[in-house]
Amino acid sequence: MGATIFGATLAAPFLFAGFGLDWGWMAPVLFQVGWCLAEGVNTGWHRPAAIPKQLAALQLPILTGVVALCVTFASLSECFLTLREGGGLGEGSSLMMGLGFLIGGLGIPLRQLAIRTLGNRFRDEVSLGEDHEIETGGIYRWLVHPGELGFGLAMLGTVFLCRSLVGFSLFLVALLPLMLIRVRRENQLIRRATADSTIILE
């Protein structure tokens, strides 16, 4: 239901502007809806809803989410304006969209694997868990931060699908630094971990 509402919200400007079923805007919208649906089902199935005891721990995830929405909105807006001005899918646009599907198509499954591997240990905040051990199996056997890497690739895929210079700039100057801050905090927790301490990693 959430993915349907989200998709209708994204598609409404294009439909009401008379663009019809144009692949130029449908591709990024369908990509976002698919990601939203996959993440919603996966997190709902493997992770019960939980609110951290310290709400301050959600500051970074909330800020990252807001910036990610801004990147998505800016990218789709640029896509909308380009199509309104008659910018069709030329050779360069097709290449960008192909890269978007490739990059994003790697990111979404990677993030879902991270969620599935951690199960109910998957959290938005960076936190220690008293009953959880450091995960070294599954996708974590090869990658330390697969959830964050998958998120970044999926967002970059969205930007490429929209052929958005503004979205790409926001990704580089705003979203990527927030992701790197999270990775640094997770690495600090790993370094502080002892035989008796445990950690939850996204």
pLDDT in tens, 93-131: 788 999 999 999 999 999 999 888 877 767 666 655 555
The whole-angstrom separation of Cα 150 and Cα 112 is: 8
Residue 79 has pLDDT above 60, yes or no: yes
Nearest to 34 by CA among 86, 121, 105: 105
Residue 49 has pLDDT above 70, yes or no: no
Which pLDDT score, from 0 to 100, does residue 199 have? Answer: 45
Count the domains in the chain: 1
**61 in a structural domain:** yes
DSSP state of 172: I
Instruction: Give the residue numbers spanning the domain of 24.
Output: 2-48+56-192
**147 in a structural domain:** yes
**182 in a structural domain:** yes
Average pLDDT over the chain reads 79
Q: What is the CATH number of the domain that holds 178?
A: 1.20.120.1630
Which pLDDT score, from 0 to 100, does residue 109 have? Answer: 94
Q: At what angle do helices 59-84 and 23-46 cross, to 10 degrees?
A: 160
Which pLDDT score, from 0 to 100, does residue 175 have? Answer: 97
| Cβ-Cβ contacts under 8 Å for 137 (sequence gap 6 or more) | 117
**202 in a structural domain:** no
The whole-angstrom separation of Cα 29 and Cα 36 is: 11
Rounded percentage of the chain residues whose pLDDT exceeds 70: 69
Least confident of 6-20, 117-131, 132-146: 117-131
**179 in a structural domain:** yes
**201 in a structural domain:** no
pLDDT band (50, 70, 90) for residue 8: low
**15 in a structural domain:** yes
Radius of gyration of the chain from its Cα atoms, rounded to whole angstroms: 18
**10 in a structural domain:** yes
Rounded percentage of the chain residues whose pLDDT exceeds 90: 32
Residues 145-150 have a mean pLDDT of 92
